[in-house]
Structure 1
Amino acid sequence: MFSIQDKPYNDHGAFCSRPTPNDTVASMRIGSVIGAIIGGMLAGMVPASVLKFALEVTLNISAF
């Protein structure tokens, strides 16, 4: 449901659905699987606080 304020954006097609870029989704999927495997392997060997910090750093780097 769009409000009156959204009408100019809707008129310009800002809310139309766009196809998903498959290459981006594929790379995100591969990175998630690799990260889950590495995190699962390290879970028993490394303290949780270190894993949380590593995840924090990784997410901050990937955000830029």
Structure 2
Amino acid sequence: MIEQNYSVLMSVYRKEKAEYLQKSIDSMLSQTVPPQDFVIVCDGLLGDELNQVLQKKSRSIRNVFR
């Protein structure tokens, strides 16, 4: 079987709903083949709810750029 590697690059903006960010991250991490790299770029300052989601997921995602 051919090894499949891919990376995920996601941006998050302060007006996005925290539940959608949570669902997006969970969806990517639960794929049959998990991503080799997962990068989230924060587009400006985020609200408390979005920051809480990123804090909870920080164990699974090594690269969060603010």
Q: TM-score, normalised by structure 1?
A: 0.33
Select the structure that is richer in helix.
1
Rg larger in 1 or in 2?
1
Q: TM-score, normalised by structure 2?
A: 0.32
